A and B are shown apart, each in its own frame.
Chain A
Amino acid sequence: MALSTEQKTTLYRNLIRADEFNRMMYRRMMQGKLIGFYHPAEGAIAPGVAAASFLNQDDNLSPHHRGHGITHMLSKGIDIKYYLAEHTGKDTGCCKGRSAFHFSFPEHKVYMMSGFIGYNFAPVVGWGFAAKRRNQGQVVMNCSGDGSYGQGRAHEAMLMAQNWKLPVIFFCENNGMSIFSTAMEMHPKEHISSLADGYGMPSTIVDGQDVFAVAEACVEAIARARQGDGPTFIEAKTLRFNEHDIGTPDLSGWEERSEEEHASMREREPVRIATARVLDEGLLNQAAIDQIIEETKAEVQGVEDFADSSEIARPSVEELMDGVFAK
């Protein structure tokens, strides 16, 4: 589905924002200014931007864990300052500073995160079930990586979504890697999307380094789901430039990834690909691009200032106990 000029501009801006936020998170992790860990998204930011930029507020989104979902959430219109505050243990955090790296923005229908890879496949069936029952065109964008499709619950979700023609988009961000293991070793076929064939679910493979190509597939799948035509499987072939999470070795299998592999990956850097395209098409000129970058840097600074100026959350055990159950 062809994209409008406005849609392309939105994608480009969100791609720049995703890139800057990822750099900020990487830097803060190295500076010791983040709680827990960080799974850097460099090289893999285009799919999330494409998947989330054209969702409505009442569409469900389950972000990929890479980049801790920031790419996806900022593209859906969520203010990242509450997430950074969470990730720094502050009382202004989206989960009151008690969750380390989890996010929750129920008003945007980004309900949860879990440390269990593939956890998303259970609730997406329920979101799709509720959406279909309400029949108001709500869709479910279910983002996760190639590794998550090793889970049996991925099968269960695809089975049930296709049985019931639920408005769920199975969005696989295939970067070819689990922590160290490769998708080639862990899956019998080259394309994860070939799983969809077994359910009779339409599928497509897109270049995950090209935000516009991914978005075209997403816009089409979202439209299908909205009009009640059921699920679509989208496989975005992407790349992971960094190690799995900051501090772990950068291995493929049990051997260091080579300089050559890194060099060839970096030729497929998504911001550079998108910038060449917007300049080439005359969508934006260099001055406009510079302005987007400048505005984004200011946005990131504001987010950091908010988190840094917030208080560390140290509620009493009694206060915490009071939050175990809903009233």
Chain B
Amino acid sequence: MRTITFIDAIREAIEEEMRADNDVFVVGQDVRGAIFPHTKGLVDEFGPERIVDTPIAESGMYGVAFGAAQEGMRPICDFMFGGFSYVTFSECSVTTGQYHFLHGSQHPLPLVITAGVGTGQRLANDHAMSIHGTFAHHPGIKVAMPSTPYDAKGMFKAAIRDNNPVVIPWHMGIMMQKGEVPDVGDDYIVPLGSADVKREGSDVTVLANSLQLQHALEVAEKLKDEISIEVIDPRSFVPFDMETLLTSLEKTNRLVVVDEDWESGGFAATVSARVMEQGFDLLDAPVIRVTLPNMPVPGGYMEEYVAPNPERIEAAVRAVCA
């Protein structure tokens, strides 16, 4: 297999799906000129009618996607940075999540919301916050986040083909990381709702995604002679693959959940509660969470010790195994 970057894998997914289906299009701000590389050059092939720039008007911009999806098209709405989706949050969370269900489950809303998220750029809260937990709170929206180039291409394709609204942010901290991806034209998808065991182990399970998955894998490698760590990437938050996690806990009996979101009301809390409800008897120790402390994400140099990092993950692993 060839090796490409994470962000190029997203670009290939969009490009191939747009070639395959004339109803797929991208709407965003400055996507023609590609403020991020995943839309680079797409306007040359598909034209400004399918790589659509709007004014700085998030409600109207998202409205293009929402209304076009009701009309049977398959839009990809690019918010640039995840936090910008909150400018039109009533539309992209409440109205979107309730559309299918509240109106009698008779009409699909096939659209994709994407954006760059995550710490590591020292940009501070509005450009760095994660959005997966907030969207996962709103029923009717699928939420997923890839961690490798292979998953990025396969999951974006799955999201575009899904008949539901799918929020699929990507982490800026891993955008230039390279990984193996099948050749162009070798069509594949990674189904939404399937977690992936990225490294097998027997002493403790660490659930982590995106940049934090890299951190967890670093820790697992560092401690390999001391503690055997199983690292699971949830890949999807809604639907969440509880079975893979419980199967792992049958072996390890210990869990650390790493989530680059706030501690309060975040996805890590949901996972901890579900494990307590469905797998309490599997646990030899209380679940430990490694999350953002409940402060707006600071920018500058302090980001690196406030956000989850390998040191904090290692400390949590040692604590849960103590």
In this assembly, does A48 line the interface, its C-beta being within 8 Å of a C-beta of chain B?
no
Q: Which of B63, B95, B108 contacts A126 (CB 8 A)?
A: B63
Q: Which of A104, A121, A128 contacts B103 (CB 8 A)?
A: A104
Within 8 A of A (CB), among B59-83: 59-73, 75
Q: Which of B63, B69, B105, B108 contacts A157 (CB 8 A)?
A: B63
In this assembly, does A124 line the interface, its C-beta being within 8 Å of a C-beta of chain B?
yes
B105 touches A124 (CB 8 A): no
Whole-angstrom distance between the alpha carbons of A325 and B107 in the complex?
A: 10
Residues of A within 8 A of B163 (CB): 326-327
In this assembly, does A54 line the interface, its C-beta being within 8 Å of a C-beta of chain B?
no
Which of these binds chain A: B49-57, B116-124, B169-177?
Answer: B49-57
B contact residues, total (Cβ < 8 Å): 43
Within 8 A of B (CB), among A50-107: 93-96, 98-99, 102, 104, 106
Whole-angstrom distance between the alpha carbons of A320 and B101 in the complex?
A: 8
In this assembly, does A38 line the interface, its C-beta being within 8 Å of a C-beta of chain B?
no
A56 to chain B, nearest CB (A): 15
A323 touches B105 (CB 8 A): yes
Within 8 A of B (CB), among A109-131: 111-112, 114, 116, 119, 121-131
Interface centre among A98, A99, A326 (most CB of B within 10 A): A326
A130 to chain B, nearest CB (A): 4
In this assembly, does B106 line the interface, its C-beta being within 8 Å of a C-beta of chain A?
yes
In this assembly, does B289 line the interface, its C-beta being within 8 Å of a C-beta of chain A?
no
B104 touches A153 (CB 8 A): no
In this assembly, does B86 line the interface, its C-beta being within 8 Å of a C-beta of chain A?
no
In this assembly, does A288 line the interface, its C-beta being within 8 Å of a C-beta of chain B?
no
Residues of A within 8 A of B62 (CB): 122
In this assembly, does A186 line the interface, its C-beta being within 8 Å of a C-beta of chain B?
no
In this assembly, does A152 line the interface, its C-beta being within 8 Å of a C-beta of chain B?
yes
Do A111 and B103 contact each other (CB < 8 Å), given the known contacts A124-B67, A126-B65, A129-B67? yes
In this assembly, does B140 line the interface, its C-beta being within 8 Å of a C-beta of chain A?
yes
Whole-angstrom distance between the alpha carbons of A325 and B110 in the complex?
A: 11
Residues of B within 8 A of A127 (CB): 67-68, 70-71
Residue in B closest to A163 when the chains form the complex, CB atoms? B55
In this assembly, does B91 line the interface, its C-beta being within 8 Å of a C-beta of chain A?
yes
Q: Which of B71, B90, B91, B106 contacts A130 (CB 8 A)?
A: B71
Residues of B within 8 A of A106 (CB): 70, 106-107
Whole-angstrom distance between the alpha carbons of A116 and B88 in the complex?
A: 13
B69 touches A126 (CB 8 A): yes
A323 touches B100 (CB 8 A): yes
In this assembly, does B20 line the interface, its C-beta being within 8 Å of a C-beta of chain A?
no
Do A121 and B63 contact each other (CB < 8 Å), given the known contacts A133-B49, A324-B139, A325-B142? yes
B63 touches A153 (CB 8 A): yes
Interface centre among B59, B62, B68 (most CB of A within 10 A): B59
A317 to chain B, nearest CB (A): 13
In this assembly, does A159 line the interface, its C-beta being within 8 Å of a C-beta of chain B?
yes
B151 to chain A, nearest CB (A): 21
Q: Which of B63, B110, B164 contacts A122 (CB 8 A)?
A: B63
Q: Which of A126, A160, A324 contacts B70 (CB 8 A)?
A: A126
Whole-angstrom distance between the alpha carbons of A125 and B100 in the complex?
A: 19
Interface centre among B68, B139, B164 (most CB of A within 10 A): B68
- Can you report 23 residue pairs joining A to B where beta carbons are below 8 Å apart? A96-B105, A99-B102, A102-B103, A106-B106, A116-B94, A119-B95, A122-B63, A124-B63, A125-B60, A125-B67, A126-B64, A127-B71, A129-B64, A129-B68, A131-B71, A153-B59, A156-B55, A156-B59, A159-B60, A160-B54, A326-B107, A326-B163, A327-B163
- The 4 A-B residue pairs with the shortest CB-CB distance, nearest first, are A126-B67, A122-B63, A156-B60, A323-B105
| Other A-B pairs beyond A121-B59, A156-B55, 12, CB < 8 Å | A111-B70, A114-B95, A116-B95, A121-B63, A122-B88, A127-B67, A130-B73, A160-B57, A163-B55, A320-B101, A323-B105, A326-B164
Residues of A within 8 A of B (CB): 93-96, 98-99, 102, 104, 106, 111-112, 114, 116, 119, 121-131, 133, 152-153, 155-157, 159-160, 163, 320, 322-327
